[in-house]
Amino acid sequence: MLFRLLSRPIWRTSSFRYTLLSSRHISQSYKPPPFPTIPKCPSPTCSCAESPEMPEGFEIDHSKPLNGTMAAYAEQVLICTGKPDWPSRIEEENSGDNLAADIKELMGRGGTYSDPYNNVSITNSSFPSTVASHRPEIITTSAYIVPSFKYIPFLPRVSFDSVEALVKGYLLPTKLHPAHDNLSPIHKDRLLRRKEQADFLPAVKDVKDILVLICGHGGRDVRCGIIAPILRAEFERALSAKEVQVLHGAVEVGDESSAEQLEGAIQPVGNTARIGSISHIGGHKFAGNVILYIPPHTKTKDGEAHPFAGCGIWYGRVEPKHVEGIVQVTLLEGKVVEELFRGGVRQGGEILRI
């Protein structure tokens, strides 16, 4: 459990006297986390890769507590680029002709839908995009939206309308922050989600695969670029050892019956996973940074409701020796590893802290 020293003597060197903080601070009681935890990650039961050495000046920060280092956010967009790395600023890739740049143009500072109280994280991922088999000549991009757990397979790059539909149908809030109470009705209406806009995007599916995301943005910081491939291989091994099928390649979308089978609706929920590298999420000094998105209705290994179903769990300073324990404790048993925990988010934007 996380214990904090609430008070300590403050010595005055001139007279050797000290002052204590008031007793009301000393007597504060410890409140346990509102979800299952364990203090430390279990040791691996089999051999695993060694932790890589980092270049001089790029050491991992082991001094700062991890809890609370995840910035609060409502949604994270995972853009399927099919690439393992990107320029330092992902919106500059391909001379600015990319989905990340388009979304930031609408939602970033000065954008039409800019709202400082609706933090949406725009992230590139190594997952490949789905190809529109009925119109293969049209270039499209796919994206995951989490923790809403939606997969949007077709965002045509020939029209900005699909980007507007994505933002207005999925990324804007359903309720505005009280700070917007004095805005005009027209301005308020512009900043609110419009569900009918979602209908303009075809074949949107619920995500039923566990998503294991590893920051591998070497173009931004060498530490993540070094450790991500090692962690990815370890997660692949550990998940397979626990009979969790790791899926590769693009999500295929055909007719409704085949799509449901591909997404695992016919098999028990939570027995499939996808592992991907992602771009900068903050905290490179805490590499390896790992996010686990656990779909709604996921069960634990005992068949019980998973405590973190519908959540994203952020870990930092993950080493190869931690991977087996993370798979067992967090994904299969539903407990957070306190020593690695940066924060978490539930569907609806509730932030998880210890």
Q: What are the tens digits of pLDDT across the range 139-194?
A: 899 999 999 999 999 999 888 999 999 999 999 999 999 999 999 999 999 999 99
Mapped to the 3 state alphabet, what secondary structure does 295-349 carry?
CCCCECCCCCECCCCCEEEEECCCCHHHHHHHHHHHHHCCCEEHHHEEEEEECCC
What's the token pair of residue 315? 């870990």
* pLDDT higher than threshold 70 for residue 261: no
Span 80-106, mean pLDDT? 96
d(CA 214, CA 274): 11
Question: Looking at residues 46-61, what average pLDDT do you find?
Answer: 93
Lowest mean pLDDT among 64-78, 135-149, 186-200: 135-149
**Would you state the pLDDT for residue 133?**
78
Task: Report which residue type is found at 195.
Answer: K
- Burial class, 298, CB count within 10 angstroms (exposed 0-12 / middle 13-18 / buried 19+): buried
Sign for the CA dihedral angle at 142, 145, 146, 147 comes to negative
Instruction: State the sign of the Cα–Cα–Cα–Cα dihedral 296, 297, 303, 304.
Output: positive
Distance (Å, whole) CA 315 – CA 341: 5
Instruction: Assess whether pLDDT exceeds 80 at residue 30.
Output: no
| Dist. CA 211–CA 293, nearest whole Å | 5
At 222, is the secondary structure helix, strand, or coil? helix
CATH class of segment(s) 38-68+207-352 = alpha beta
What's the token pair of residue 90? 């992902």
Q: Answer whether 48's CB lies under 8 Å from 38's CB.
A: no
Q: Give dist(CA 39, CA 354) in Å, integer.
A: 11
Burial class (CB in 10 A: 0-12, 13-18, 19+), 165: buried
Per the DSSP assignment, residues forming a β-bridge with 38 are 337
| Predicted local confidence at residue 4, as pLDDT | 39
* pLDDT over 80 at 250, yes or no: yes
d(CA 217, CA 88): 8
pLDDT at 256: 45
Give me the mean pLDDT over the 202-229 stretch: 96
Structure-block tokens of residue 53: 């050495």
Summarize the confidence of residues 261-283 as an average pLDDT: 72
CA–CA distances in Å: residue 245 to residues 144, 197, 269, 276, 303:
19, 34, 11, 14, 17
DSSP per-residue string spanning 228-282: HHHHHHHHHHHHHHTT-EEP-SPPP--SHHHHHHHTTSSSPTTSEEEEEEE---S
Average pLDDT, the chain: 88
